[in-house]
Amino acid sequence: MRCMVMVRATAESEAGVMPSQQLLAQMTAFNEELVKAGVMLAGEGLKPSSQGKRVVFAGGRRSVVDGPFAEAKELIAGFWLWQVRSMDEALEWARRCPAPFEGDCAIEIRPLFEADDFGEAFTPELRAAEERMREELAGKI
């Protein structure tokens, strides 16, 4: 199963406070473990929401909202994409992760939809298009 592992933002991360050298070293070591185990597919940190934008879809229109966005605890400061056997395995890895920030912080794990989750609505033609896109993306890595 693939899952998105999201590091929740904090007031400090939203203020642009950078991690210490010690935390960077701990996270690098953890990421190396994930890669060696074949778990990590991708992972990145995100800049504060003050540098971001949202596109809002409402009433058939699109509007752009400039960051920063309210409620740091609802924002994402970074992510991993993991390939694991189960949610239990993902939890085992997350429990081994260094705390992403000093003080209170959280990591959220969410499974990704797979093709079979969409049932009959995901027609053979749509599946073929999805597979072509995945192959193209794989060639860019």
- pLDDT at res. 140: 78
> In a structure prediction context, what are the per-residue pLDDT tens digits for the chain, which is 141 residues long?
999 999 999 999 999 999 999 999 999 999 999 999 999 999 999 999 999 999 999 999 999 999 999 877 789 999 999 999 999 999 999 999 999 998 899 999 999 999 999 999 999 999 999 999 999 988 876
The structure's pTM equals 0.89
In this structure, which amino acid lies at residue 113? F
